[in-house]
Amino acid sequence: MALDNLVITPPPHLRSKEQTAVAMRDVLIALAPITIAALVAFTYNALFNIAVCVGSAMFFELVARKVRKKKVTLSDGSAAVTGLLLALLLPPKIHWLNMIIASFVAVVIVKELMGGLGRNIFNPALFGFVFILIGSGFLASWTGHLGFLPGGFDGVQAATPVAYIKHGLEGAPSYAALLFANYGGAISEVGCFWILLGGAYLIYRKVINWVIPVTILATVFILAYILGSDGLYQILAGGVMLGAFFMATDWVTSPMYRWGQAVFGLIIGICIVLIRLYGGPSGAVAYSILIGNAFVPLLDRAFKPRKFGEVVAA
């Protein structure tokens, strides 16, 4: 048989037009509605937080890449996305140094020291947020003495809606408020509707698929009602929507295969409800997604599709 017409090349043999910069641009576009809503609601507080988080995330990535003598990748937009997500996770009034510490942990430790974009195990923005959440007491003992630019200008703020999940919904914000105009908690909790708009755009653009967010929301909704809580309030309050559409769907830290993604969403949804009802509600979504991130290598191995032509050994 003549083999002269065969062309042999090294992998990859399938190439996609999807590029990191294009995907990050779409994520920034998708985050525009909730970012604008936060700026309208919290004015200078939100603007200050976003500027500090995005600016410090880009600065730390630039320095880390220079120190490691790697190609500077600011143009791909990933540092800007990490900084913006981090800002959206934080309340409108927070000390400026906490934001810089969170950016450092997210970009330098979780992203760059783990090999750079595409190799990190955990979601960088969530890890940075959880670091200052856990260490808030320790950090306050010395950041409180650095009094200039304390963070927190003129704005409106109220108790986080997730506090009512633990202590009863009497006096809690209405469903409509949670959808369009809530002033408690993180600046991204100002309205789920604006996050849903962004999530729909990402699905339309095929930057993410529906499996992970739908599985998380369905699991939280159903399990909350089974355990005697208000399932609809659970998915509208706090960071469930932002986590489901923008954090859990991170390409790097989520499973590759469809059934693995479904189990991943199930794990996160169960953890959110259990932590909120039987633990501390603050940060439940962040903890749950990071727990889910830890299962990703196992899920990718467990649900790896059979190779074409592969025969199972007898």
Task: State the pLDDT at residue 282.
Answer: 81
Torsion sign, CA atoms 179, 182, 185, 190? positive
**Distance from chain centroid for Cα 263:** 18
- Give tens-digit pLDDT for 233-244: 999 988 999 999
Task: State the pLDDT at residue 138.
Answer: 61
Task: State the pLDDT at residue 9.
Answer: 64
5 vs 38, which has greater pLDDT?
Answer: 38
78, 218, 248 from 237: Cα distances, Å: 27, 15, 17
The rounded percent of the chain whose pLDDT value lies above 90 is 54
pLDDT band at residue 51, thresholds of 50, 70 and 90? very high
Is the Cβ–Cβ distance between 180 and 193 less than 8 Å?
yes
User: What is the DSSP code string of 243-254?
Assistant: IIIIITT-STTS
- pTM, two decimal places: 0.86
pLDDT band at residue 255, thresholds of 50, 70 and 90? very high
Report whether pLDDT(104) > 90. yes
Structural Rg of the chain based on CA atoms: 21
The predicted model gives 147-169 an average pLDDT of: 59
**Mean of pLDDT over the chain:** 85
Question: Is residue 10 helix, strand or coil?
Answer: coil
pLDDT band at residue 19, thresholds of 50, 70 and 90? confident
Report whether pLDDT(169) > 90. no
4, 13, 274 from 7: Cα distances, Å: 8, 12, 55
Question: Is residue 184 helix, strand or coil?
Answer: strand
Question: Is residue 295 helix, strand or coil?
Answer: helix
Is the Cβ–Cβ distance between 276 and 233 less than 8 Å?
no
254 vs 169, which has greater pLDDT?
Answer: 254
Report whether pLDDT(155) > 50. no
The predicted model gives 113-123 an average pLDDT of: 81
The predicted model gives 211-219 an average pLDDT of: 97
The rounded percent of the chain whose pLDDT value lies above 70 is 83
Which of 18-27, 118-127, 131-140 shows the lowest mean pLDDT across its residues? 131-140
Question: What is the 3-class SS of 20-73, one letter each residue?
Answer: HHHHHHHHHHHHHHHHHHHHHHHHHHHHHHHHHHHHHHHHHHHHHHHHCCCCCC
